[in-house]
Amino acid sequence: MDVLRAIVLGAVQGLTEFLPISSSAHLIIVPWLFGWEESGLTFDVALHLGTLVAVLVYFWREIAQIAVAVPRGLIERRPLADPMARLGWIILLGSIPAAIAGFIAADAIDSFFHGGDGGNTAIVLVALLMIALAVLLALAERIAKHERSFECVTGRDGLVVGLAQALALLPGVSRSGSTITAALFRGLQRDAAARFSFLLGIPAIVGAGVFETRSLLETGLAPGEEQVFLAGMATAAIVGYLAIAFLLRYLRTRSTMIFVVYRLGLGVLLLALVATGVR
């Protein structure tokens, strides 16, 4: 892989990790469309670390407040008294379903969608999942009452949204897409749903990064991979930070329907490309 391709895929990862359009799907679709080879473990680590940097930098205040409030609450034997401590426990609760699902199914899913086992069938499944989540997101926009603020997030919200996050192991679902959709169904305001989605995603992104980094440390970087690694990581971090800022501001005054339309359009396009044999 050259540096230019690393920058392109880093930008794709940074943008699609935080917009509700599925980063894992796009990292399958883009190489598939251009006939590129799989990026490999080294580059996957770079992309995960880049998006992790983006979310940690953007939410550093909230993370610091949670890191202080949780142990203080335990020491004072009032673990849920402080709102930030309560948020920390809610995030922990919501992270459990994805951790269990990842432990059970991550390898099989990765082999099918990224290891070449699925072929065009994998692309069809990605397209169908893109369309299915688009329909659910549209229903969440139409049916739910988006009245509850971020401060009103509860443990039940954490569990429901966490279960939705577990589904995002499947490329095409989208971690931010599934969690924002679930949060909207729970009645959260749009920007509150996105903020909770991003904070809930931190443990999942950290977990994926740690797991893949451990594997990378066992093999090490091949000669010449340093530039590609850094280019992909830096691009994913910068674009990811901008994507977070954009979406939170956008959803203060607008709905998610633009992403519904995009997901539907891309899903239909992929099905057409496979059906016609173009790819």
Candidates 276, 215, 262; CA nearest to 25 is: 262
Q: What are 120-141's pLDDT values in tens digits?
A: 888 899 999 999 999 999 999 9
Structural domain for 198, as ranges: 3-276
pLDDT of residue 53: 96
Q: In this structure, what DSSP letter does residue 188 have?
A: B
Q: Rounded CA gap, 122 and 128, in Å?
A: 10
Q: Rounded CA gap, 164 and 181, in Å?
A: 8
Q: Rounded CA gap, 134 and 153, in Å?
A: 24
Low-confidence ranges of the chain (pLDDT < 70): 40-41, 115-118, 279
User: Is the torsion defined by CA of 266, 270, 271, 272 positive or negative?
Assistant: positive
For 159-174, b/e burial (b = at least 16 CB within 10 A) is bbbbbbbbbbbbbbbb
User: Is the torsion defined by CA of 32, 38, 39, 44 positive or negative?
Assistant: positive
Phi and psi at 275, nearest 5°, equal -65, -35
Domain count across the chain: 1
